[in-house]
Chain A
């Protein structure tokens, strides 16, 4: 009998994850064994992966909502996803390819620059959308409970669709210029994951900060500009000295953009830069997740 009680207590402790809030053992039968404890939780809290998993369908719905809403009532519809990188490519080709004659390792400039524009467009649009996502969804924050992390994550993930479209466009571009991809392209999926990590690392942190300080809405455009010119989007990584490469690699997109070119076009890999950038990206995401969890409980008070 006593053993049974102990077993029941342990089962409950396991379910609640908090032994301190249990006063009497509850028989683990039916719905009685579920208990949710609401109390102030100071300090840092780990991500509740189990809850996120339980709500996973909501993440899908939020992404799907943003995708289906974005191009409603537009004449060109999803063509807009193509227009932006295409325009960037044309401008860059004119300025950096034609006027400044940036070295491209022998590749036509459009093919060269587009390889970098793909991850950059995803990154810049993704973290920008994530940064303002929470501040723009006050009703959701103050009126209903769900894992708040989904809001910036879904806002950024939407741009994966755009990235997929631009990849098709890039494939067409390579066919037109008669450029074959190198074997390094097998690393592309890994690089895409790294791009997502970098995007969320910055986007999630900014999203939480923007709830408290609307100043960050105005900081995002500056940040985008700074990160873009310090990343080798328009120019090859080779124009920098080793020292500068190490410093600039603190911008996660520095190593990542370079690596996209190495993977697709077979340009020389700069592994130290990639290593530093990858570390920055992962570290920023870990920080972002903890910072978000720490601050999310005050979102509704501020939003």
Chain B
């Protein structure tokens, strides 16, 4: 039995929120030069005055990862799930050697390529051809390797005729296709992929997923995959790892991990969610909630009653084509439907300027099957995802009125059965005792 290709042993990562730490340089808000100098001066002053027992300044620690241990065997596809801020991205960044862990040790027994963002290092002024080489080199490919795969990349991205056009003239779809195509043709032993399939149109997402599946199953490479798309995860990954507050809380078959994820998410169950303010974001969701038709907040609805999703979005900077949208998931992780602000009025994005915008989306009665649902909220502009809120507004629909409460399927449509009657030639005699 060969050694696992990835071994993580008590990996931890600590961030200091605000404040100053003299022993290292890890913090979300770096101290300014003035703070650093005054801190050093104070240290010198204290030494001069012989003050040794200075009480340490209060620091606000935050463990993005705490004692994360797991192993991955060669050829496995692992899905990493967890709510926002659970530490998924931090873990991927540590394994990609972008950030250094505060504690623990990870061993990777193979060449690693990580795809944490589509199109890292793309330069808008350069042509598609030039960017393929540049991006390939940044992702760790040799020139001969890129030469060899050049045609495959171009045809995968479907941009043959624009290959010598600067990418700043590309449509966002073309840009994303090209960027993913380069990354998809990497040949590492370990591929680390963050939520990159959230970009591009549906057909292309399908194509990317297919490519990743080829990589995982056909070519026998190891994949570590983060996604909020439970459908993609269960399709691609055999095993899953659930991260909660920086710790591994489930590690096993993907299906079980997804179930555990939904269960853990329901612990913090809230049909009305208020999101913490993050001033650095150019726009963010303030709240999302579910209401009955009469306006009272609720988390349980009957299949026979319509209800309303209310979303509040704060825009802090004017952006082109700012688009809030959301996807509803069932407990299996299947996306049930996606709704986009432009669905009824494509021009609405032009009116989403600086300010707080509220939206009301009415979900009609007799549409969704009775089960539990969760919502992922997104706010994107031209090419960027500005705000993502996953697993919010959990709610349950119950079928209390129909004649068949337990039926398979994701929809609960009450379709009329138009009825006509004709006589039959094969009528049978009524058995004795039966009602006539």
Contacts and interface: CB of A to CB of B under 8 A. Distances in A.
A in complex with B = yes
Contacts of B104: 39
Given A38-B105, A144-B116, A68 B126 contact: yes
Contacts of B143: 57
B107 A35 contact: yes
Contacts of B36: 213
* Contact residues on B (Cβ < 8 Å of other chain), bracket: 35 or more
Contact of A39 (B105, B110, B123): B105
B35 to A, nearest CB: 10
A146 B140 contact: yes
A40 B100 contact: yes
B15 interface: yes
B3 A32 contact: yes
A72 B125 contact: yes
Contacts of B126: 65, 68-69
Contacts of B114: 144-145
A212 interface: yes
Given A35-B108, A57-B142, A139 B137 contact: no
Contacts of A69: 123, 125-126
Interface in A127-148: 139-146
A187 interface: no
Given A32-B109, A298-B26, A61 B133 contact: yes
Given A57-B142, A145-B96, A34 B109 contact: yes
A142 B3 CA distance: 30
A139 B106 contact: no
A232 to B, nearest CB: 31
Most chain B beta-carbon contacts within 10 A, residue among A65, A69, A139: A65
Most chain A beta-carbon contacts within 10 A, residue among B93, B98, B120, B126: B98
B154 to A, nearest CB: 18
Contacts of B27: 301-302
State the majority secondary structure of interface residues on B: loop
B24 A298 contact: yes
A76 interface: no
Contacts of A36: 97, 107-109, 112
B189 interface: yes
A3 interface: no
Contacts of B117: 139, 143-144
Most chain B beta-carbon contacts within 10 A, residue among A24, A39, A62: A39
A213 B32 contact: yes
A58 interface: yes
A39 B138 contact: no
Interface string A264-303: 0000000000000000000000000000000101101110
Interface of A: 21, 24, 26, 31-32, 34-41, 55, 57-58, 61-62, 65, 68-69, 72-73, 139-146, 212-213, 215-216, 295, 297-298, 300-302
26 contacts: A21-B105, A34-B109, A39-B106, A57-B142, A57-B143, A61-B133, A61-B137, A65-B130, A72-B166, A139-B121, A143-B117, A144-B98, A144-B116, A144-B121, A145-B114, A146-B138, A213-B30, A215-B32, A297-B99, A300-B98, A301-B25, A301-B27, A301-B28, A302-B25, A302-B27, A302-B30
Top 8 closest A-B pairs, CB basis? A298-B25, A297-B100, A215-B33, A38-B106, A39-B105, A213-B33, A61-B137, A145-B97
